[in-house]
Structure 1
Amino acid sequence: MNYEAVIFDLDGTLIDSMWVWEQIDIEFLQKKGYVIDEAAINQIEGAGFTETAEFFKKHFNLAMSVEEIKETWREMAIKMYVERVDLKNGAKEFLEFLKAHNVKMAIATSNGREIVEAILEKHDIAKFFETVVTSCDVEKGKPHPFVYLKTAEILEVAPSRCLVFEDVPNGIIAGKNAGMTVFGIEDAQREDAKRRAKDLCDRWVMDYNEVIDILKE
């Protein structure tokens, strides 16, 4: 192992959940009489939970406070995550592999803390992670590097000794801007976004079973 710490994004990276937020956006906006547009989708990629709520309030001129928007999303998301979202293929085995090699683990996510805690509890994986840092804990979300730099600081590991797992371009950019090695992992997303993600990351993998084989080399 050439790394002292492994830091995971959450949605689409550790869990198969990218469809969740698309569905929440659609259902949330339908109730308000709006339809999600391409400009909005591009604007919120990698943005933090609070940043996204602020954007939606302004972009769609919503008569709700940012906190009300966030609370509505939390309720919708927790139900979907707990009932319908699974871990990525090989994820649990990979966490066990890292633990056996005394590698520190953490989550650095744009998602909200309550949602993260619900996911970790459902899958019984909280015990693997030394810390969870969200984009709401730092100045700006991805593609800015702050969430990854803060995580490395808490872990007391130099960024150059951290391996990051991401799935979307802005997340990969955030990890690279933090001075970390970034592996991209296969996920369901727009083909143009996937091509860009593959170009940006240090290595692209299909699942965590492949990663275990790579790190054993």
Structure 2
Amino acid sequence: MYIFDLDGTLIDSNGVWVQIDLDFLSRRGLSVTEEYTEFVTHATYQNAAGFTKEYFSLPETPEEIMKAWSDMAFDAYAHTVPLKDGVREFLFRCGREGLPMAVATSCMPHLCDAALRQHGIRDLFQAVITADEAGCDKRNPEIYLMAARRLEAAPEECTVFEDSPAAVLSARSAGMRVVGVYDSFFAPWEEEMRRRCHGYIRSFRELL
């Protein structure tokens, strides 16, 4: 049973969110900080929006902030964000072999759906679990446990593919095998990822 993160694992989208953060804040005369990035990278959208409002004392409501982010991101997810190297071939091979697969993501549900459908891979997954549905961010293992339940699998039967160091720890705490996936956004933590994961790949072509 395979459980995949979306952003930075299946699709090359982390750069989209870096740019959205920069553009959203610069339009308000503000700048990204390390503390801010660390929080919103792993938060649910609602929590990230609430944090953004409080952190920068913005007049917008969290709902208005989420809509602004969504509007900025949708075109990219629906049309231009690419799959990462080897993902298409690996997923379709797993599909041909009848291997149950799920997505567990912090991505907004409609953006996740747009990206998966853009690439024609939505129907390969038996379940798509978002942090909004799970009610927690990916530092909480519940999102992975929920995905396992949807696949009717025990945690120890599941392998999780993740690009984030914090998410890797969460998936391991759920009792799952974890394969780290290289992404340039988390490149400074590559050695840490290699230590924490059961395996580590720079491309899904390594698994073909």
- The two structures share one fold, judged by TM-score above 0.5: yes
Q: Percent identity?
A: 36
Q: Which runs of 4+ in 1 moved over 4 A?
A: none
Residue 114 of structure 2 is matched in structure 1 by 118
Q: State the Cα distance separating 1:190 from its structure 2 match.
A: 4.5
2:79 counterpart of 1:72 = no
Q: State the Cα distance separating 1:80 from its structure 2 match.
A: 2.0
String of CA shifts for 1:143-184, please: whole Å, max 9, x gaps.
110111111111111111011100011111121111111101
Q: Distance in 1 between matches of 2:36 and 2:190?
A: 18
Question: Over the residues paired in the alignment, what is the CA RMSD in angstroms?
Answer: 1.3
2:85 counterpart of 1:97 = no
Residue 177 of structure 1 is matched in structure 2 by 173
Residue of structure 2 aligned with 1:13, choices 6, 9, 15: 9
Q: Distance in 2 between matches of 1:146 and 1:193?
A: 24
Q: State the Cα distance separating 1:192 from its structure 2 match.
A: 3.0
Q: Distance in 2 between matches of 1:113 and 1:20?
A: 16
Query: Which residue identity does 1:118 align to in structure 2?
Result: A
Residue of structure 2 aligned with 1:49, choices 32, 39, 45: 45
Report if the CA contact (8 A) 1:110-1:142 is conserved. yes
2:194 counterpart of 1:198 = yes
For 1:26-175, what aligned pairs fall within 5 Å after superposition? 26-175=22-171
TM-score by length of 1: 0.91
Which blocks of at least 5 consecutive residues in structure 1 are unaligned? 213-217
Q: Distance in 1 between matches of 2:141 and 2:73?
A: 25
> Aligned residue pairs: how many?
208
Which blocks of at least 5 consecutive residues in structure 2 are unaligned? none
TM-score by length of 2: 0.95
3-state SS of paired residue (1:14): coil
